[in-house]
Structures are given as structure tokens and as C-alpha cells.
Amino acid sequence: MKLFLFEIKKLMWTKKYWIIFSVCIVAVVGLFVRNMLLQDYAVEEKRSEYNAYIKVSEMNETSYELQLKRVGKDEEIEQLREMNMELLNMAIALRNVFTPTNWREWLQLESDYLQKTQEFKLAGGEHSLSERRLRIHF
């Protein structure tokens, strides 16, 4: 054990050790700064994604209203319209809830939204989320 401690102490005073140690510290600090700078960018990306979901739901709502005016009372269209309104309300809630502090609530809402979207697509509705993205979450 004394030999091991001696070798470690000898190694710590070499120039190579301090260079490797310094490079590791600089790399960790660099990654930390990069993450801090990109945090706002990631939040804006998520908000723009939720805004796109809201626009899709609003376009679907307009489409269903026009179909109901043209066709009259149709149970299938009304069911899709109700499901779309749920998606619209959930997307608005997602956009408003998304903050780094209440990530559990946000994660639960996003999971519910993706599940409702999958049900909506299976019922015959159209949404911009791909089947691949929905399968990744479930």
C-alpha cells in the first residue's frame, strides 16, 4: 500500500497529470456553459412545436365546421370535432405549462396528448404527428 501511495503522489506532480486534469476541467466547464446557453433555445423549440399542434387543431376545427355546415348533422364528424377540441385544449395547456420547474406535470400532459392524438388518428382524424413519433412514445 505504501508503494501505491508513493506512485500516486509521484504521478500527481508530473506535468502530464496537470495537463490532463486541466483539459478535463475545461471540457466540463465548456459543456456546462453550452447547456446553459442552449437551454432557452430548447424551450423555444418546444413552444414552437406546441404552437404548430395548436395550428393543426385549429385548421381541423375549421374543416369540421365546414363539413358539418355542408353535410348537416353527422355523428362521425361531430365525434372527430370533439376529439379535436380535446387535443386543442391539451395543446394550449401544454404550451402554457411548459417550464423547467414543473416538468412532471408537463411530461404527464405530453404523454396524454400523444395518446389522445393516437386515438384521434385511429378514429380517422388527421394530425401532423407521424405514426413513427407516436410509436416511439408508446
CA-CA distance, 36 to 31, in Å (whole number)?
Answer: 9
Contact 123, 77 (CB under 8 A): no
Residue 81 forms part of a structural domain: yes
Q: How confident is the model at residue 27 (pLDDT cuts 50, 70, 90)?
A: very high
Residue 4 forms part of a structural domain: no
Residue 34 forms part of a structural domain: no
Per the structure, the count of domains in the chain is 1
Residue 57 forms part of a structural domain: yes
Across the chain, what does the average pLDDT equal?
Answer: 85
Residue 36 forms part of a structural domain: no
What confidence score (pLDDT) does residue 44 get? 86
Residue 19 forms part of a structural domain: no
pLDDT tens digits, one per residue of 75-101: 888 888 899 999 999 999 888 887 767
Range of the domain at 54: 43-137
Residue 23 forms part of a structural domain: no
**What global pTM score does this model have?**
0.70
Contact 138, 118 (CB under 8 A): yes
Dihedral of alpha carbons 113, 138, 103, 108, sign: positive
Residue 61 forms part of a structural domain: yes
